[in-house]
Amino acid sequence: MSEAAGNKGLAAAPIGLRLASVLHLLPWALALLVYVVAGGYLSLGTHALIMILFALSLDLALGQAGIITLGHAAFFGFGAYAAGIFATHLSNDPLLGLVVATVLTGLFGVFVGILILHTAGVTLMMLTLAISALLAEFANQAHGLTGGDDGLQVGRMAPLFGLFRFDLRGHTSYLYVLAALFVWSLVAWRIMRSPFGRSLDGIRQNPRRMRAIGTPVWRRLVVAYGLSAAMAGTAGALEAQTTRAVGLGALSVLASGTVLVMLILGGTRRYYGAFLGATVYVVVQDFAAQIDPFRWMFIIGIMLMAVVLFLENGLVGLVDVAGRALHGPRSPGR
């Protein structure tokens, strides 16, 4: 990863280290800038932040651990419904609901992982698809609990920390989601750089060899999958709490496919790939749909094809190009 190489190679030059830190702060500064400047776009911005978190969770499972999943929306939706049902029936405190939804989704992820992670490749992909389809069917039928096809309308959340009301214009929501994303991204950063994360790297590249050196591959995968599920569950819960509506679409194959597209678009295994991909996709789709509600797919499709044809690993490749232009060639990253 270029950041790692940057830290190592530029550690000798204190200016470089500061530069790297500034680069890391950049996305967060941008997010705060959006908050201050683009007040009318806060709901779009909140949605983008939630998608970033969702894509980041997928990067942990897919990009890092190599678990090919076409059903990650199962966890997003699970978290969304968990938070929605919790708020409706038990307590509308947002933080409590968030924690409960995250933990429940993580446990669900572990359960699913235990069930299917002994398989690999296309089989695993099909199984993730099947699980998410079955969950969606269950949500459709259990309409006493989930509202079924009509969706779940969640009551208004209690003020955050008892102080900050969730206002109509979405100010509290935006900062709330941003904070949650910040926390999880720190956690993800730590995970990806820990020995555990490194072992996931190895498992993705060559599970047989990892087994040969004694790594408990299956156990690691289940843990990774559970963490990824928890992260996705937080994203879903945030969406349920901020938009106060959960629909079956949150569990759909299209949702799984879209987040996958966002991640690949941005670049897998590049920390900010999820950030770039999700933001670009959400923003471009919104504006394209405004220009032409019928044919926005055309614009998105062309964009996706162009990114694959001209960039090596997603939009993050553009950042690399810019980096090379500014600093000259540096050693290849992660």
Which residues in 311-330 contact another protein (CB under 8 A)?
none
| Residue 140 CB, nearest approach to another protein (Å) | 7
CB of 150 to another protein, least distance (A): 5
163 binds another protein (CB under 8 A): yes
Q: What is the DSSP letter of 247?
A: -
Sole window of 3-11, 98-106, 156-164, 193-201 interacting with another protein (rule: CB under 8 A): 156-164
Q: Whole-number minimum distance, CB 222 to another protein, in Å?
A: 16
Q: Give Cβ neighbours of residue 47 (< 8 Å, ≥ 6 apart).
A: 239, 282
Gap between the Cα atoms of 25 and 18, Å rounded: 11
- What is the nearest approach in angstroms of another protein to the Cβ of residue 127? 5
Question: Of these, 130, 142, 186, 321, which contacts another protein (CB under 8 A)?
Answer: 130
Between CA 17 and CA 213 the distance in angstroms is: 36
Which lies closer to another protein via its Cβ, residue 104 or residue 124?
A: 124
All residues at 6 or more sequence positions from 109 whose CB lies less than 8 Å from its CB, including other chains: 75, 225, 226, 227, 228, 229, 230, 232, 233
Q: Is 13 in the site for another protein (CB under 8 A)?
A: no
Output 121 or 214, the one with its CB closest to another protein.
121
Picking from 220, 268, 199, 251, the residue whose alpha carbon sits closest to that of residue 57 is 268
Interface residues for another protein in 65-104 (CB under 8 A)? none
* Distance, CA of 8 to chain centre: 28
Does 333 sit near another protein (CB under 8 A)?
Answer: no
Is the CB of 92 or the CB of 140 nearer to another protein?
Answer: 140
Collapsing DSSP states into helix, strand and coil, what is residue 66? coil
User: Which of 49, 67, 166, 239 forms a contact with another protein (CB under 8 A)?
Assistant: 239
SS (H, E, C) 161-219: CCCECCCCCCHHHHHHHHHHHHHHHHHHHHHHHCHHHHHHHHHHHCHHHHHHCCCCHHH
Q: Is 15 in the site for another protein (CB under 8 A)?
A: no
302 contributes a contact to another protein by CB under 8 A: yes
Q: Which of 31, 42, 104, 251 binds another protein (CB under 8 A)?
A: 42
